[in-house]
Structure 1
Amino acid sequence: MAAAAMWLLYLSFFAILAFSTCGSYSGTFRLSVECENRTESDLSLQVEFEYPFRLHQVYFDAPTCQGGNKERLFLVGDYSSSAEFFVTVGVFSFLYAAAALVLYVFFFQKYKENNKGPLMDLGVTGVLAFLWLVSSAAWAKGLSDVKTATDPDQVITMVAACNAQTSRCREVHDPVMSGLNTSVAFGFINLVLWVGGLWFVFKETGIVAPFMRAPPPEGKAAAPEPYEQDPYASNQAGYQPNYTQEAELGQQGAPTSFSNQM
């Protein structure tokens, strides 16, 4: 029970780390658009984006290098589905692990009653482990697409002024993605933890108990039953014939010669 409770604490903690590092993210990158006419240039064009990464709604105004006019450009892609799915799995995992911890600590006997609690717990744990696998893989792919869509070198190609030979464009600052990389790592750590939690819950169901029972010790050879004693054995054992005395008596009683008998 103590080991299972500690495992639930780990599940809650790493679930929080997974959905918080993804759900609280906001990033920024900057570009430099230098026009032939320096007054029309923008040397620190900043673009901000954040969770849930609906990048097609993120826009910025870039100089056109044509009389001071600007054009509004939007980033490409909507990666909210994979990101929100990942965060949702993390939140539900945290809530379930917290509820299971309370049940283990305060209502363990009720939990074990009729074995329904462990069986339901086993099913939910298996489902959450599978969801962590799917959501972590989906978010890893989504993060790769987010990195591509927010790469300053990729965004520069969208700016019309950067295609002119009289203009010069370059990236100033890349977005910091370390927090999102960490969220993917935490996702797969949660997968390992929840798969491991299946073993703890499986043991509580009692299904494995008959297979873990130690084999009975080998029986010792039965001692032979004592022979039935003859009731006269003690008397017979106590009688020790004196052959010397009997021989003397025989000699005294027997005639010494044939002549004596006559």
Structure 2
Amino acid sequence: MMTGFRLNFAPVKEPLGFVKVLEWLTAVFALGSCGGYSVRTVVSLFCGQGTNETLDVTFSYPFRLNRVLLVERNGTLCNRPVAETHLMGDAESSAEFFVAIAVLALLYSLGALLTYTGYLHVYRESDYAPMLDLAATAIMATLWLLCSSAWAKGLQNMKYATGTVGIRATLALCQEEGVVCEVTELANMRTLNVSVVFGYLNVILWAGNAWFVYKETLWHSQKYTSQEAVGHGTFPVPF
């Protein structure tokens, strides 16, 4: 078996390699639209008698909301002492899971592209390489589904926690008579919404790519060979 490196970009023009390029791109976009993202929320407190207070909150990846201060220690709002208060909720685990799978997908797709363009002759001569590739592709599709669903739920919880209803439930002062709390500048989470879309797009790409990888496996070739044998079967010659 020849194991030398042979650069050949022809597989990239085929579904096997082309889909891997798409998987790499969508992983990059999913990673970029979630990791390193920062959002800002402004809360206005209308205290009555024409006075009001403003709370400015900024939080970023990995979105540990329960560590973000809404009101600092020994704060005073609307002429009332307010205890130190943090935002409620924590999207850290779902966000980090999503980013970890995006990084893993990015690295695997790059490795697969290197194999297809440099060692395709080894890949296709091996009985096990395509099978391992198929197993890894199926696992990645499943992981993308899990992490995208978890991140979509985490993002939904984060929107609630930083919205008017969530802030009113978090800050005890908002429940006192004569004080009205409103989120007057809602955190812009469009980019985070896009990350969820890219997550589910990756599910489709990896699941679809499994078929093209399956066609490279011994299972598919044996099935095709057996079908040909049945179609061109021999019949006994009469005496």
Q: TM-score over 0.5 for the alignment?
A: yes
Q: For the Cα contact (< 8 Å) 1:64–1:160, is it kept in 2?
A: no
Which residue in 2 is equivalent to 1:236? none
- TM-score where L is the length of structure 2: 0.81
Tell me how far 1:166 sits from its aligned partner. Answer: 3.5
2:147 maps to 1:131: no
2:66 maps to 1:56: yes
Distance 1:135 1:169, change over 3 A: closer
2:191 maps to 1:175: no
**Which residue of 120, 132, 140 corresponds with 1:108?**
120
Distance 1:189 1:161, change over 3 A: same
Tell me how far 1:66 sits from its aligned partner. Answer: 2.5
SS at match of 1:32: strand
2:79 maps to 1:66: yes
**Which residue of 212, 215, 220 corresponds with 2:224?**
212
Aligned length: 216
1:73-121 CA distances to partner (integer Å, 9 max, x unpaired)? Answer: 1011222111111110111001000110011001111222332211111
Report 1 or 2 for greater relative contact order, CA contacts < 8 Å, sequence distance ≥ 6.
2
| Distance (whole Å) between structure 2 residues aligned to residue 6 and residue 197 of structure 1 | 10
Amino acid of the structure 1 residue aligned with 2:59: F
Amino acid of the structure 2 residue aligned with 1:24: G
**Which residue of 73, 80, 92 corresponds with 1:80?**
92
Where in structure 2 are the equivalents of 1:141-160 lying within 5 Å? 141-160=153-172
User: Structure 2: 5+ residue runs without aligned partners?
Assistant: 1-10
The root-mean-square deviation of aligned C-alpha atoms, in Å, is: 2.3
SS at match of 2:57: strand
2:13 maps to 1:20: no
Which residue in 2 is equivalent to 1:250? none
1:162-182 CA distances to partner (integer Å, 9 max, x unpaired)? Answer: 333343432211111211111
SS at match of 1:146: helix
Amino acid of the structure 2 residue aligned with 1:88: A
Which residue in 2 is equivalent to 1:4? 16
Q: For the Cα contact (< 8 Å) 2:152–2:196, is it kept in 1?
A: yes
Tell me how far 1:206 sits from its aligned partner. Answer: 3.3
SS at match of 1:118: helix
Q: Which has the larger radius of gyration?
A: 1
Amino acid of the structure 2 residue aligned with 1:146: M
Tell me how far 1:126 sits from its aligned partner. Answer: 1.3
Q: For the Cα contact (< 8 Å) 2:65–2:90, is it kept in 1?
A: yes
SS at match of 2:187: coil
Distance 1:210 1:167, change over 3 A: closer
| Distance (whole Å) between structure 1 residues aligned to residue 181 and residue 89 of structure 2 | 23
Q: For the Cα contact (< 8 Å) 1:34–1:169, is it kept in 2?
A: yes
User: Structure 1: 5+ residue runs without aligned partners?
Assistant: 220-262
Which residue in 2 is equivalent to 1:254? none
Which residue in 2 is equivalent to 1:202? 214
Amino acid of the structure 2 residue aligned with 1:50: S
| Distance (whole Å) between structure 2 residues aligned to residue 49 and residue 21 of structure 1 | 15
User: Taking every aligned residue pair, what percent have the same amino acid on both sides?
Assistant: 35
Which residue in 2 is equivalent to 1:140? 152
Tell me how far 1:204 sits from its aligned partner. Answer: 0.8
Which residue in 1 is equivalent to 2:57? 47
Amino acid of the structure 2 residue aligned with 1:52: P
| Distance (whole Å) between structure 1 residues aligned to residue 178 and residue 147 of structure 2 | 46
Distance 1:138 1:163, change over 3 A: closer
Q: For the Cα contact (< 8 Å) 1:33–1:63, is it kept in 2?
A: no
